[in-house]
A and B are shown apart, each in its own frame.
Chain A
């Protein structure tokens, strides 16, 4: 499997199904999804509510396991991993950005951003240094000691992005990162994500409702009824 990693894409989903409930109440969130995402890609995932795009994100993010099918992340069969191994995988290779920011309340930006490094066992001095760099990368220098309550929505999302990239993840998973923001703030966030993708080579998978935001990505995957309905390069992308 490790030998295969050289030829395999970063993310490979094959025949993924996700079923909730059983018997009459069975709901199919995903039906036979096949998807490959290569390192360095910026992919937008679109689709109506209940189309399975969030479920797919959770599976890619190793937060959920498929009912059927196989998922290889960097050549590793995630379905074979236990809860702890998946947690370690998230810790070292994945970064998450959520619609609702999900920052720890009453906790400073600095402490929020350094959280993944704390779990990685990085020393205090090294953490401080990397937090400064990450906050600078998202344009929040000097806001280290602000708590979420003292920050605007856009700033909170930047803190969340800084937290997601601080551990230099292979993939950044963004679930409607602009869902709670106005258009101007949304564009800023999207430009930030594009820059991180272009300059640092971080693979980004982003769920969004808005075509305008999806346009920042190079590729758009559209879900309908738990299936991939279309998968195409975004207009204007190289």
Chain B
């Protein structure tokens, strides 16, 4: 019998038992929808994370005093500006070295004030952090050398203090410091850790040391490496230079640590990948359960239709024709479930990604695979009932009440 006929028969049989068919394929619908939604969300989250990692800056090595996160961390000596200069001069694979020190403070403009992060650094900070200027200029060499009272605002601070107006040329107060705004940073948004990167006021590091912190400490050296494959070499160079400058003997441990930002992205994407896998596995299990549901109802259907099968066999249907009929029915059933599941997943995926603000990444291979899987479930779990039908003894089948 031609496939077309089997298809028509299958569709008719499904129409005859609409409710039963719908309930039967519910497992498949949920399974397919779950697989696609999970993968879509996983991909979206990964994309969002990589985007945020990229906004941190590329090929960054963060050097901090202290080792690990223990109590001795605070006691470790801070860096100095001379350390930054020495690193820039002696470690040849570094593109930029930005010394940085930060503290929280209130920024005041007119009758508005805003609690923000004051960071003292150099123009290298803009380079290592992938910052663009939206307005104004960077610090001049003279301002950096002399530690003048100038600053560059982050987009959040501009929004809060200047209500979106251009701040360049205005004076704001930071603690006891009256400070001229010379530039405005382009917005970068949230970091991978969920902090607002735009909530920042940038000062020349000397200005920060003398007039805000009152010391010469550099809490952080942000260095960017020329190319990703030089990272390991750069870490060794930085360690060597700093050990020498900090007079560490051969037996002593480093009293500072070099942190590669790639580790953050690797950890985060690794975590999301594992999560995606886990959720996918759960969804796979629900597909399996859906398949068992189909097998169950197909077995019931075969028993119910024993007489029909007997008639078909007596009339001269071949074993493979009866097998084909029931197999096609199972596949049509499960494929319908797959299609409904895909539709459901696309709706749910679009809604959820919009709600939690991550990109909606439609993974066509996964959708195709999920559909193929649903059809395969039909073949796999439809086979046993179909074979039972095909192997029936026509005499017994015709006698069946």
Contact = CB atoms under 8 A, between A and B. Distances in A.
Contacts of A63: 314, 394-395
Nearest to B308: A104
B315 interface: yes
A102 B316 contact: no
Interface of A: 58, 61, 63-64, 83-84, 87-92, 94, 96, 98, 102-106, 115-116, 118-119, 121, 163
Contacts of A83: 319
Interface in B58-103: none
A55 B307 CA distance: 19
B321 interface: yes
Contact of B316 (A58, A88, A105, A106): A88
A87 B313 contact: yes
Given A98-B398, A102-B307, A104-B308, A87 B5 contact: no
Given A63-B395, A119-B321, A91 B2 contact: no
A87 B312 CA distance: 10
A206 B65 CA distance: 104
A119 B1 contact: yes
B285 interface: no
Contact of A118 (B5, B313, B318, B398): B5
B317 interface: yes
Given A90-B316, A116-B316, 18 more contacts: A88-B316, A88-B318, A90-B314, A91-B316, A91-B317, A92-B316, A102-B307, A102-B311, A102-B314, A102-B398, A115-B311, A116-B315, A118-B1, A119-B1, A119-B317, A119-B321, A121-B1, A163-B315
Contacts of A115: 311-312, 315
Interface string B1-27: 110010000000000100000000000
Given A91-B315, A91-B316, A118-B1, A102 B310 contact: yes
Interface string B282-314: 000000000000000000000000011011111
A87 B316 contact: yes
A229 B314 CA distance: 29
Q: Which of A94, A102, A105, A106 has the most CB of B within 10 A?
A: A102
A106 B315 CA distance: 18
A62 to B, nearest CB: 9
Given A106-B16, A118-B1, A96 B319 contact: no
20 contacts: A63-B314, A63-B395, A64-B395, A83-B319, A87-B318, A88-B318, A90-B315, A96-B314, A96-B315, A102-B314, A104-B311, A105-B308, A106-B16, A116-B316, A118-B5, A119-B312, A119-B316, A121-B1, A121-B2, A163-B315
B395 A87 contact: no
Interface of B: 1-2, 5, 16, 307-308, 310-319, 321, 394-395, 398
B317 A87 contact: yes
A102 B312 CA distance: 10
A33 B262 CA distance: 89
A40 B74 CA distance: 111
A88 B312 CA distance: 12
A154 to B, nearest CB: 20
A105 B304 CA distance: 12
Contacts of A92: 316
Nearest to B13: A106
Contacts of A116: 315-316
Nearest to B314: A96
Given A63-B394, A102-B310, A84 B318 contact: yes
Shortest Cβ-Cβ A-B pairs, 4 listed: A91-B316, A90-B316, A116-B315, A87-B316
Nearest to B401: A100
A104 B272 CA distance: 55
Contacts of B395: 58, 63-64
Contacts of A121: 1-2
A119 B16 CA distance: 23
A63 to B, nearest CB: 5
B322 to A, nearest CB: 10
A119 B9 CA distance: 13
A45 to B, nearest CB: 16
Nearest to A117: B315
Nearest to A104: B308
A72 to B, nearest CB: 19
Contacts of B398: 98, 102
